[in-house]
Structure formats: structure tokens, C-alpha cells
């Protein structure tokens, strides 16, 4: 596999994979509780439920003991937070802001969204992934957690992460006293020595690094790839690159949710099943709960984990962050985990199975959903583009 060098990889990192459920949330709370100087916490959704309150309470504890704490939340994703909770957060000394609180009406939004999920502590440790902070991502005694992944990153790229988060914070119309001035000049080099890079998507700032990274991985794949995709509606070029990869013998497995929190998107994705299967790409559906993961591995060498979905909403209407990891040991172990999930928790959708479930109603519903989602994505992209001019 040839690796794109548009944004160079750096080595010297320590990386720990986090699975959905309690391990992810425990790792975030541990990092917050050990913070000494400052914290940047940015997320799309933090619900006012047991899981969300655990995170907020940890951040409040950090602020009370003197850690300068910046919280940037998406205005649409956190629109149901109570005034009482917001007041308690701010009274602890936390600097709290909401990203892009415009064009929001009841149940609808039309503007650039803060979709990445990132915690940075003291410029030394970052947790980056696809999980929001709510009970459905943690799981309860009655419901299994949604499937997702994140990574704990330590090493040189924390300098880059710090720069991204600080710039986003400082652009939210804050006073001079509230600006983030923390600059990281150097970090520890770790013996694990994993090579990685941080990639962004922010159409407003002409950044499509994650999209380019996926395209490069698809284009240069040789043997196999695994994709776990929560809201899958790739553009024509991405579909073409997958088709060409399959045609040259690459074994491609894509895992979708059997049941989704976004039924319209689920039907639109299923509309593509015929195209995917026709091109000898294997389809699996995750059964135990909703699949919220956005990850991929290629050729046992390269993997990407983060908030980016393979669709035009992530391309043109959301701020996203992924970690691209170029390491055979990490990627090999990650592939083994993904394959075990496929074997244990997924069903394969063969051509025969797809033909059995296909009806005239499902075809019409799928086509209609596909066209509606494509139209919505086009409108959102145009609105974001106009805001950037």
C-alpha cells in the first residue's frame, strides 16, 4: 500500500485502542482527574444523563482544583442541556462556549457543525474517536452500548491537536481574558514508536484531509480492507475507488448497522447494497445494537479512527478529526478485533439474501431516502460554502 504524504506522518507515539462502553468513559475521566494545567474538551453531543453528568462532574472537579478548562460543544448537538446545568458548569470556573448557535429551529439545523469528539489534557494526552457522551454510548443494564471506537494518543502529534483545538476555541467570539494561549513546543517520545498523523475535515477552512486520506487508502490498497460505517453514503469518486479496488482483487468487507438511530439514512445506505454486491464487496450487518463506528483498516498496515463518516455531510458540513495510524502491529491487532466482531456479532448479506428481502416497497423507499439525503447534503454543503465566503 502506497501512503499519501500530503500531511506527513510522525513517529514516537503511544496509542491505546478504546472500545465502546465503560472503558472509554473511564479513560476520559481518569485523564481529566489527572490533569495539572489545562484541558480542552470538544464534542458534538453530551447529554444530561448519567453518563454525560459523569463527564461534566469530572471537568468541574478539574476546574475547582485550578485546572484551566475549556469546553466547546456543538450548539445543535447539546441544545437540550438545562440552564441549571450550564450555570453550575460556568460557576465552577469552566470556560464554556457553544459552537455555531445559528440557523437552529425546532428539530432542524443548517450550518457548519462541530462533529469531532476530542479531549486534550496538558498538551500531552489526547482521546479522539467517534463516541459522544451519553448513556446510549455507554450502555445500561437493559441496553447494550452502541458500537464505536477511540484512541488514546500520546506523543508529538499532540502539538498539532493542541493547535487545532486552541484555534477553534479562539474563533468563538470570546474575550481576550478567555482566550487559550497554551502552546506546546515539544512532547515526550514514546518507546511504542507508532507512526501516525492527525487529519481534519473543515470545508469552511478548505480542509478535506480525511476525505483525501480515505481516497488514497482505497486507491493504493493491495490485498484487503475492512470498513465499519455508521452513516455510509460515499460520493461517486469514493464508490468508484472501492469498485476499482475490488476489481483488482482487494477483499473488501463493509459493516453497517442492522438497525439505526437514523432510519432515513439506513434506507438510503441499503439502496446502495445492489451496487456494492454487484462489485463483489462483502456486506455485513451488526446485530447487538446500533453501529456508530467510523473506522477502516487497509492491508494490515494502515488504520483510521475518528468522527468522520463516509458521506458529504462530513465532507462539507461538519468539523471532523481522525487519527491515521501507519503501524502493522496496531493495525493487525485492530483487524483481528474487527474480524472477531464480524464473526460473532454480524450477519452477512449475500446477493441471495438481498434478493429475498427486496420488495417493490423497499426499492421505492430506498430510492426516495437516497434522493432525499443527497438533496439535503447538497443544500447543507451550499449553505456552509456561502457562510465561508
Where residue 32 sits, what CATH number does that domain have?
3.30.870.10
* Same domain assignment for residues 370 and 341: yes
For residue 245, list its beta bridge partners.
none
| CA–CA dist 327, 332 (Å, integer) | 8
- The reply to whether 106 and 213 lie within a common domain is no
Return the pLDDT at 216: 97
Together in a domain, 224 and 184: no
Same domain, 173 and 221: no
For 176, other C-beta atoms within 10 Å of its C-beta total 6
Please report, to the nearest 10 degrees, the dihedral formed by the alpha carbons of residues 69, 75, 81, 87 taken in order: 50
Q: What is the pLDDT of residue 381?
A: 64
Question: Do 248 and 332 have their domain in common?
Answer: yes
CA-CA distance, 364 to 103, in Å (whole number)?
32
Give the model's pLDDT for residue 26: 98
Are 147 and 293 contacting, i.e. CB atoms less than 8 angstroms apart? yes
pLDDT of residue 170: 93
- Confidence at residue 109, expressed as pLDDT on a 0 to 100 scale: 45
Q: What's residue 140's pLDDT?
A: 84
> How many Å is the Cα radius of gyration of the chain?
20
Q: How many C-beta atoms surround the C-beta of residue 317 within 10 A?
A: 26
Within the chain, what is the greatest distance between any pair of CA atoms? 63
What cell numbers appear for 27 in the block? 479513560
What is the number of other CB atoms lying within 10 angstroms of the CB of residue 23?
A: 13
Same domain, 56 and 116: yes
* Residue 378 resides in a domain: yes
List pLDDT tens digits, range 237-278.
999 999 999 999 999 999 999 988 888 888 889 889 999 999
Coil, strand or helix at 183: coil
Question: Of 33, 91, 27, nearest to 59 (Cα)?
Answer: 33
Q: Are residues 31 and 129 in the same domain?
A: yes
Structural domain includes residue 64: yes
pLDDT at residue 368, rounded to an integer: 84
Residue 5 lies in a domain: no
Grid cell, residue 235, equals: 460520493
Same domain, 305 and 242: yes
Query: Which pLDDT score, from 0 to 100, does residue 389 have?
Result: 44
Residues 172 and 206 in one domain: no
The CA distance from 48 to 55, in Å, is 10
- Residue 251's CB is within 10 A of a number of other CB atoms, namely 14
Domain end position, chosen among 172, 196, 220: 196
**Total structural domains within the chain:** 2
- ∠ CA 30-115-51, rounded to 5°: 40
Opening angle at CA 176, ends 171 and 182, nearest 5: 75
Closest C-alpha to 226, from 285, 170, 295:
295
Residue 191: per-residue pLDDT: 86
Place of cell 450502555: 139
Beta bridge partners of 121: 39, 125
Spell out the residues 6+ positions from residue 162 whose beta carbon is closer than 8 angstroms to its own. Answer: 40, 120, 123, 182, 183, 184
Residues 171, 94: one domain?
yes
Whether 177 and 223 map to the same domain: the answer is no
Q: Can you give the pTM of this predicted structure?
A: 0.93
91 plus 213 within the same structural domain: no
Q: Is residue 127 part of a domain?
A: yes
**Domain end residue (candidates: 196, 219, 244):** 196
Q: Which stretches of the chain drop beneath a pLDDT of 70?
A: 1-7, 102-110, 173, 379-389
Provide the CB-side half-sphere exposure for 134 (13 A, CA). Answer: 17
Q: Is residue 267 part of a domain?
A: yes
Q: Which three cell numbers stand for residue 35?
A: 490533569
Q: What pLDDT does residue 107 have?
A: 46
Q: CA distances (Å), 179 to each of 60, 121, 166, 167, in order?
A: 19, 17, 8, 9
**Residue 4: inside a domain:** no
Residue 54 falls inside a structural domain: yes
User: Whole domain around residue 244: which residue ranges?
Assistant: 200-388
Among 153, 164, 210, which residue's Cα sits nearest to residue 187?
153
Q: Which of 143, 174, 196 is the last residue of a domain?
A: 196
Cβ neighbours of residue 367 closer than 8 Å, sequence gap 6 or more: 271
128 inside domain: yes
Q: Give 197-248 pLDDT, tens digit per residue.
A: 999 999 888 899 999 999 999 999 999 999 999 999 999 999 999 999 999 9
| DSSP string across 194-226 | EEEEEEEEEGGGTEEHHHHHHHHHHHH--SEEE
Task: Give the integer Cα–Cα distance in Å for 142 and 126.
Answer: 31
- Predicted local distance difference test score (pLDDT) of residue 388: 47
Amino acid at each position: 500500500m502506497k501512503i499519501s504524504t500530503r500531511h506527513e506522518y510522525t513517529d514516537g507515539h503511544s496509542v491505546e485502542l478504546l472500545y465502546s462502553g465503560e472503558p472509554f468513559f473511564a479513560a476520559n475521566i481518569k485523564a481529566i482527574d489527572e490533569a495539572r494545567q489545562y484541558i480542552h474538551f470538544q464534542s458534538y453531543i453530551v447529554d444530561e444523563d448519567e453518563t454525560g453528568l459523569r463527564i461534566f462532574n469530572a471537568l468541574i472537579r478539574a476546574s475547582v482544583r485550578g485546572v484551566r478548562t475549556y469546553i466547546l460543544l456543538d450548539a445543535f448537538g447539546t441544545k437540550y442541556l438545562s440552564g441549571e446545568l450550564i450555570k453550575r458548569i460556568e460557576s465552577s470556573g469552566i470556560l464554556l462556549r457553544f459552537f455555531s448557535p445559528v440557523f437552529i429551529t425546532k428539530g432542524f439545523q443548517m450550518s457548519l457543525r462541530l462533529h469531532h469528539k476530542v479531549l486534550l489534557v496538558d498538551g500531552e494526552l489526547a482521546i479522539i474517536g467517534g463516541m459522544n457522551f451519553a448513556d446510549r454510548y455507554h450502555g445500561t443494564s437493559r441496553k447494550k452500548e452502541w458500537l464505536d471506537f477511540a484512541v488514546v494518543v500520546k506523543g508529538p502529534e499532540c502539538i498539532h491537536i493542541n493547535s487545532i483545538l486552541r484555534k477553534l476555541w479562539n474563533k468563538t467570539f470570546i474575550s481576550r481574558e478567555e482566550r487559550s494561549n497554551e502552546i506546546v513546543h515539544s512532547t515526550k517520545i514514546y518507546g511504542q514508536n507508532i507512526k501516525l498523523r492527525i487529519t481534519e475535515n473543515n470545508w469552511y477552512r478548505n480542509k478535506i484531509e480525511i476525505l483525501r486520506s480515505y481516497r488514497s487508502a482505497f486507491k493504493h490498497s493491495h490485498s484487503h480492507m475492512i470498513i465499519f460505517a455508521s452513516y455510509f453514503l460515499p460520493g461517486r469518486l469514493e464508490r468508484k475507488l472501492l469498485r476499482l479496488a475490488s476489481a483488482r482483487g482487494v477483499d473488501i468487507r463493509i459493516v453497517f448497522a442492522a438497525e439505526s438511530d437514523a432510519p432515513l439514512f439506513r434506507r438510503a445506505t441499503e439502496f446502495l447494497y445492489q451496487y456494492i454486491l454487484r462489485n463483489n464487496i462483502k456486506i455485513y450487518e451488526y446485530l447487538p445494537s446500533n453501529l456508530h463506528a467510523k473506522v477502516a483498516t487497509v492491508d494490515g498496515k494502515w488504520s483510521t479512527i475518528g468522527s468522520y463518516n463516509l458521506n458529504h455531510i462530513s465532507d462539507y458540513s461538519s468539523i471532523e478529526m481522525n487519527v491515521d495510524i501507519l503501524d502493522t502491529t496496531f493495525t493487525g491487532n485492530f483487524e483481528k478485533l474487527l474480524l472477531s466482531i464480524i464473526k460473532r456479532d454480524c450477519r452477512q448479506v449475500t446477493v441471495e439474501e438481498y434478493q429475498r428481502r427486496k420488495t417493490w416497497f423497499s426499492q421505492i423507499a430506498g430510492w426516495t431516502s437516497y434522493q432525499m439525503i443527497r438533496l439535503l447534503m447538497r443544500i447543507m454543503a451550499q449553505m456552509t460554502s456561502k457562510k465561508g465566503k
